[in-house]
Amino acid sequence: MANYKARGIILRRDNFGEADRLVTLYTNRFGKITLLAKGTRRPTAKLTGTVNLFNEIDLVAAESRSIDILVEAQIVVLRDKLSSDLTKAKAAYWVCELVDKLVQDNEAHIELYNLIHNILNAITQRNSDLVLSYFIFQCLNELGYRPELKHCAVCGKALTPPAKMYFSPVAGGIVSTCCIGTSGRPINPDTIKAMRFLDAPFGQAIKLKLPANIQKELHTHLKDFSEYIGQKKIRSEEL
Ligand SMILES: [Zn+2]
């Protein structure tokens, strides 16, 4: 059976058998894949130390009847500094968990690959809650779940500010009083503005200065939306 190459970011590791690990990566060529990394729970194995969370590696994998095997791995970006800083690690876990839960295996999407790469670099350098909010918004956007923020997500009417607004994951964005049912939660107009701003290029969006309550609300609504899309709870939230 054939070998193949890719560049990948390590999203997740699970113990497997006595000494092995399953390593889940988001790769440039194949999207999300899971490989068997033999012996990597032993400190002496060749690949131990390489297949750590958040690292970016150039890999060679061998096709197999069951799980493909990681044969070679070379570090392209070492991100061990992320793991040693609790706040940064939490944000990086969030990024990796979200990708793992939202994307299917073997669907290549190079824009998403670049987004994960850039965000993990940004978290390493200047982490903030806004960086994570930006990632969640952009990740949903890349996967085709861009929230509707300019019109009522149910009836399509333009949103007019004095009316009360709600954010509804089920409807896919902002819902106004015209259509509010049971699913939406109130959202501050300033939070809607902030969410719209996340559509800007990273360098611009990151300059936004948000009061703590707006940042918190922004995160909560984006989290709720991504959990609704993935139909799974984000566990990193509780770390
Ligand atoms: Zn409506």
Q: Which two tokens stand for residue 162?
A: 């004095």
pLDDT tier for residue 187 given thresholds of 50, 70 and 90 = very high
Task: Compute, in angstroms, the gap from residue 141 CA to the centroid of ligand 1.
Answer: 22
Whole-number Å distance between alpha carbons of 77 and 57? 7
**CA of residue 187 to ligand 1 center, whole Å:** 15
Which pLDDT belongs to residue 239? 66
- CA of 159 from ligand 1 middle (Å) equals 8
Q: Which residue has the higher pLDDT, 103 or 231?
A: 103
Convert the pLDDT of each residue in 113-140 to its tens digit: 999 999 999 999 988 899 999 999 999 9
Residue 167 has pLDDT above 80, yes or no: yes
CA of 36 to the centre of ligand 1 (A): 49
- Tell me the chain's radius of gyration from C-alpha atoms: 20
Q: What are phi and psi of 148, to 5 degrees?
A: -80, 120
Instruction: Give mean pLDDT, residues 191-200.
Output: 96
What are the backbone dihedrals phi and psi of residue 19, each rounded to the nearest 5 degrees, phi first?
A: -135, 0
What pLDDT is attached to residue 163? 78
CA separation for the pair 23, 31 (Å, rounded): 14
pLDDT at 181: 76
Provide the CA 35 distance to its chain's centre, in angstroms: 20
Put simply, whether the predicted model's pTM sits higher than 0.85 gets the answer: yes
